Structure 1
Amino acid sequence: MISNSSNYAWSTSDPCDLLGSNRVGSNSQTVSANQLLDDCLKNRPVPTNTWWQNLLLAAGDQPVVTSPYIVRCLEGAVAVCAPTPLVHERYVASVWHDDWKLHFADCQHRRVIAYDPLSVIVAYSNDGQAVATVPLVRGSAFTSAIFDVSQRLRLTTTHAILRIDMPFGNNGTAVIYLNNGSVWLICCESHASLQQSGISEIESCEPLSGSVRLALVSSSCSPVDNEQAAIESLLFAREAVPIGGQVNVDGSCEERALFTISWQVKGSGSLLMYALPHHQMSLQLSDPGCYWDDSVAAQWTSRGQMRAVVGQQWQWYEEIEPIGFSGQTPLTAEHRGNLFNFVAADAQSLVEKAKSLPQDPYFFGKAVARAARIALIADEINDNESRDLAIDQATNWLEPWLNGTNADYFVYDLEWSGVISKAGLSDPMADFGQGLYNDHHFHYGYFIYAAAVIAKLRPEWKDQNQEQVDILVRDFFNIAPSVDTYFPFIRCFDFFDGHSFANGLFAFADSRNQESTSEAINAYYATYLYALMTDRLDIAYYARAVLQLEARTSRIYWHLDDLANDIYPEEYAKNQKIVGILWSTKADYATWFGSNPEFIYGIQFLPYTPAMTLLLKRKWIADIWPQFLEKVANGSQTESWQEIIHLAYAVVDKKQTFEMNSKITNHDDGNSASNSYYWIATAPENSE
Structure 2
Amino acid sequence: MSSPFLFPLIQSTVIPNPSPFFSPNLLSSPLPTNSFFQNFVLNNGDQHEYFHPYLVKSANSSLSLSYPLMFFSTALLYQVFVPDLTISSKSSSRYSSSHRSHVVSSYSDLSVTLEFPSSNLRFFLVKGSPFITAEVTRRTSVSISTVHAILSFSSSDSLTKHTVRLDNNQTWLIYASSPVHFSRTSSSEITSDDGFFGVIRIAALPDSENPRSEETLDRFSSCYPISGDAALKKPYRVEYKFQKRSSGDLLLLAHPLHLKLLSETESNCTVLHDFKYRSIDGDLVGVVGASWVLKINPIPVSWHSTKGIKQDSDKEIISALIKDVKDLNPSNISTNSSYFYGKRVARAARLALIAEEISYPHVIPKIKNFLKQSIEPWLYGTFKGNGFLYEKTWKGLVTKQGSSSTTADFGFGIYNDHHYHIGYFIYGMAVLAKIDPDWGEKHKPQAYSLVEDYVNLGRNSNPYYTSLRCFDLYSLHSWAAGLTEFEHGRNQESSSEAINAYYSAALMGLVYEDSDLVATGSTLTALEILAAQTWWHVEESNDMYGKEFVKENRIVGILWSNKRDSVLWWAPADCRSCRLLIQVLPLTPITEVLFSDVGYVKELVEWTEPDLKTAEESSKGFTFALEGIYDKENALEKIRKLKGFDDGNSLTNLLWWIYSRGQGNTSQS
Aligned residue for 2:527, secondary structure, equals helix
Q: Which residue of 2 aligns with 1:341?
A: 319
Secondary structure of the corresponding residue to residue 243 of structure 1: strand
Who is 2:393 aligned against? 415
2:554 to 544, 566, 577: 577
Do structure 1's residue 185 and structure 2's residue 173 form an aligned pair?
A: yes
Q: Which residue number corresponds to residue 589 of structure 2?
A: 610
Q: Deviations over 1:443-497 (max 9, x none)?
A: 0000000011111111111111111122211111111466421100010000100
Note the C-alpha offset of 1:619: 2.4
Mapped partners of 2:656, 2:350: distance in 1 = 10
Cα distance in structure 2, aligned partners of 1:600 and 1:181:
39
With the length of structure 2 as denominator, give the TM-score of the two structures: 0.95
Q: Which residue matches 1:359?
A: 336
Residue identity matched to 2:110: L
**Aligned residue number for residue 293 of structure 2:** 315
2:78 — aligned with what? Answer: 93
**CA distance, structure 2, for counterparts of residue 328 and residue 202 of structure 1:** 64
Distance in 2, matches of 1:288 and 1:665, equals 54
Distance 1:500 1:33 in 2: 22
Query: 8 Å contact 1:233–1:295 — kept in the other structure?
Result: no
Match of 2:302 among 302, 313, 324: 324
Is 1:377–2:354 an aligned residue pair? yes
> What pairs with 1:226-305 in structure 2 (closer than 5 Å)?
226=211, 229-252=212-235, 257-286=236-265, 290-296=269-275, 298-305=276-283
Shift of 1:55: 1.0
**Contact 2:5–2:449 (CA<8 Å) still a contact in 1?**
no
Q: Distance in 2 between matches of 1:92 and 1:199?
A: 32
Aligned partner of 1:591 among 568, 582, 586: 568
Give distance in 1, aligned partners of 2:343 and 2:173. Answer: 52
Q: What letter matches 1:285 in structure 2?
A: E
The range that moved more, 496-505 or 240-249, is 240-249
Could you tell me which residue of structure 1 aligns to residue 53 of structure 2? 68
Q: Secondary structure at the match of 1:281?
A: helix
Q: Distance in 2 between matches of 1:627 and 1:357?
A: 35
Q: Distance in 2 between matches of 1:483 and 1:302?
A: 33
The answer to whether the Cα contact below 8 Å between 2:242 and 2:290 also exists between their aligned partners in 1 is yes
2:35 to 42, 50, 60: 50
Deviation string for 1:150-194 (max 9, x for gaps)? 11121011111111233x324221121111111111111121122
Residue 184 (structure 2) aligns with: 196
1:208 aligns with 2:196: yes
Contact residue 156 and residue 202 of structure 1 kept, 8 A = yes
Deviation at 1:384, TM superposition (A): 2.2
Identity score, percent: 30
State the alpha-carbon separation in 1 of the partners of residues 605 and 28 from structure 2: 55
Change (3 A) 1:149 1:288: same
CA distance in 2, matches of 1:552, 1:251: 18
Report the equivalent of 1:469: 447
Work out the CA distance in 1 between the residues paired with 2:176 and 2:12: 44
Q: Residue by residue, what CA displacement relative to the aligned partner does 1:123-151 show, whole Å, maximum 9, x if unpaired?
A: 1113xxx8111111100010111000111
TM-score normalised by length of structure 1: 0.92
Q: In structure 1, what residue type is equivalent to 2:143?
A: R
Map 1:155-166 → 2, pairs under 5 A: 155-166=144-155
Q: How does 1:11-90 map to 2 (within 5 A)?
A: 11=3, 13-15=4-6, 19=7, 23-29=8-14, 34-90=19-75
Deviation at 1:617, TM superposition (A): 1.9
Secondary structure of 2:222's counterpart equals coil
Which residue of 129, 137, 154 corresponds with 1:140?
A: 129
The Cα of 1:289 is off from its aligned counterpart by 6.5
Count of equivalent residues: 656
Q: Which moved more, 1:569-578 or 1:499-508?
A: 569-578
Q: Is the 8 A contact 1:46 1:416 kept in 2?
A: yes
The answer to whether 1:123 aligns with 2:103 is no
**Which of 522, 528, 533 is residue 555 of structure 1 equivalent to?**
533
Shift of 1:556: 0.3
Partner of 1:4: none
Which whole-Å CA distance do the structure 2 matches of 1:305 and 1:446 have between them?
Answer: 35
**Which has the larger displacement, 189-198 or 64-73?**
189-198
CA distance in 2, matches of 1:146, 1:687: 55
Give the Å deviation of 1:623.
Answer: 4.1
Q: Distance in 2 between matches of 1:574 and 1:623?
A: 16
Paired amino acid for 1:443? H
- More off after superposition, 354-363 vs 545-554: 354-363
Shift of the 485–310 alpha-carbon distance from structure 1 to 2, 3 Å rule, reads same
Separation (CA, whole Å) in 2 of partners of 1:413 and 1:405: 18
Q: Judging changes above 3 Å, is the alpha-carbon distance between structure 1 residues 300 and 483 closer, same or farther for their aligned structure 2 residues?
A: closer
CA drift at 1:357: 3.5
C-alpha deviation, 1:679, in angstroms: 1.1
Which of 493, 500, 504 is the equivalent residue of 1:526? Answer: 504
Alpha-carbon deviation of 1:47?
A: 0.6
Q: What's 2:456 paired with?
A: 478
Equivalence map 1:604-683=2 (5 Å): 604-625=583-604, 627-632=606-611, 634-683=612-661
SS at match of 1:431: helix
Residue 410 of structure 2 aligns to which amino acid in structure 1?
F
The aligned amino acid for 1:385 is: H
**What SS does the corresponding residue of 1:184 show, helix, strand or coil?**
strand
Task: Map Cα deviations across residues 10-48 of structure 1 (whole Å, 9 max, x no partner).
Answer: 32x051xxx3xxx21122345656311111100000010
Q: Residue 113 in 1 paired to residue 96 in 2? A: no
Separation of aligned partners in 1, 2:593 and 2:162: 49
The CA RMSD over aligned residues, in Å, is 1.8
Deviation at 1:104, TM superposition (A): 2.5
Aligned to 1:499: 477
**Residues 153 and 207, structure 1, Cα contact 8 Å, conserved in 2:** no
Paired residues of 2:503 and 2:590 also in contact (CA < 8 A): yes
Change (3 A) 1:283 1:483: closer
Question: Contact conserved, 1:403 with 1:468, CA < 8 A, in 2?
Answer: no
Which stretch shifts more, 280-289 or 663-672?
280-289
Distance 1:206 1:682 in 2: 73
Q: Deviations over 1:262-282 (max 9, x none)?
A: 111111112111111101222
Contact 2:18 2:394 in 1 (8 A): no
Change (3 A) 1:286 1:379: closer
- Secondary structure of 2:453 counterpart: helix
Q: Which residue identity lines up with residue 609 of structure 1 in the other structure? A: T
Closer, same or farther in 2 for the Cα pair 1:43/1:354, shift >3 Å?
A: same
Output the CA distance in 2 between the equivalents of 1:44 and 1:574. 47
Cα deviation per residue 1:393-446 (whole Å; 9 max; x = unaligned)? 122111111111102021111111111110101113211101110000000000
Unmatched 5+ stretches in structure 2? 96-100
2:98 is matched with none
Q: Is contact 1:481–1:488 with CA below 8 Å preserved after alignment?
A: no
How far has the Cα of 1:375 moved from its partner? 1.6
Q: How does 1:451-470 map to 2 (within 5 A)?
A: 451-470=429-448
* Secondary structure of 2:646's aligned partner: coil
Alpha carbons 1:477, 1:491 under 8 Å: kept: yes
